């Protein structure tokens, strides 16, 4: 008796699902996108894209094969994603190699990192207003506009973080280290 269940591409061809044309296309587009916005180097974007479309942890060897990249390029991209906390190393049962996977809170971490920058600009504008003091001067009006802009952005980013927490599959996500708070 044979099993007629559909097999994955890896089972039928021995190839990684990351080599599938649709996956490969997304991975390349992700690399181009992050590079064109100046967020990260293209290879870091490609590795991030691979993590987004993989069904589980991937090894550096699998990434090298799928992305046709050198060990140095994969290592550098991996370090970049780990430093940004967008990826995490995990143990792969039955393997001596560590795997890499998308951090479960990657988008929240990304938003929190941006929020810290916004809060720094907000503090800078508020401090400048205190130092200058003359509310009617053009320089004070510029700083008021800056402060108001970053206060609005802060509020919206906090709303996005609250939404991420409310839709997280992990009910304890909002209790993790680095929880964002308003700094007025």
Q: Please, are residues 32 and 45 in contact by the beta-carbon 8 Å criterion?
A: yes
Q: Output the pLDDT for position 182.
A: 61
For 145, the token pair is 């506009």
pLDDT above 70: residue 72? yes
Q: Beta 98-102 vs 87-91: how paired, if at all? A: antiparallel
Q: Output the pLDDT for position 156.
A: 98
Q: Please, are residues 42 and 34 in contact by the beta-carbon 8 Å criterion?
A: yes
Q: Output the pLDDT for position 173.
A: 53
H/E element, 154: helix 138-167
pLDDT above 50: residue 111? yes
Read off the pLDDT band of 177 (50, 70, 90).
Answer: very low
Read off the pLDDT band of 66 (50, 70, 90).
Answer: very high
Q: Output the pLDDT for position 136.
A: 87
Least confident piece of the model among 25-29, 131-135, 162-166: 131-135
Q: Half-sphere exposure (CA, 13 Å, Cβ side) for 2?
A: 4
CATH fold of 9-102 reads Arc Repressor Mutant, subunit A (1.10.10)
CA 129, CA 39: separation in Å to the nearest integer? 31
Class of domain 106-175: mainly alpha
In the DSSP assignment, the letter for residue 169 is S
Q: Please, are residues 106 and 86 in contact by the beta-carbon 8 Å criterion?
A: yes
* Burial 161-172, CB ≥16 within 10 A → b, else e: beebbeebeeee
Domain extent listing, the chain: 9-102, 106-175
């Amino acid at each position: 008796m044979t099993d007629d269940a559909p097999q994955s591409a890896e089972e039928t061809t021995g190839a990684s699902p990351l080599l599938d044309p649709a996956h490969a296309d997304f991975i390349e587009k992700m690399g181009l996108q992050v590079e064109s916005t100046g967020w990260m180097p293209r290879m870091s974007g490609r590795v991030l894209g691979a993590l987004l479309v993989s069904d589980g942890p991937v090894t550096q060897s699998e990434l090298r094969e799928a992305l046709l990249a050198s060990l140095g390029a994969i290592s550098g991209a991996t370090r970049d994603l780990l430093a940004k906390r967008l990826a995490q190393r995990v143990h792969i049962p039955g393997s001596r190699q560590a795997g890499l996977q998308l951090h479960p809170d990657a988008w929240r971490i990304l938003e929190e990192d941006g929020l810290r920058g916004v809060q720094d600009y907000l503090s800078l504008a508020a401090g400048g207003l205190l130092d200058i003091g003359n509310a009617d001067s053009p320089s004070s009006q510029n700083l008021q506009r800056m402060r108001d802009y970053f206060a609005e952005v802060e509020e919206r980013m906090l709303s996005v973080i609250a939404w991420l927490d409310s839709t997280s599959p992990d009910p304890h996500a909002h209790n993790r280290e680095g929880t964002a708070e308003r700094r007025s």
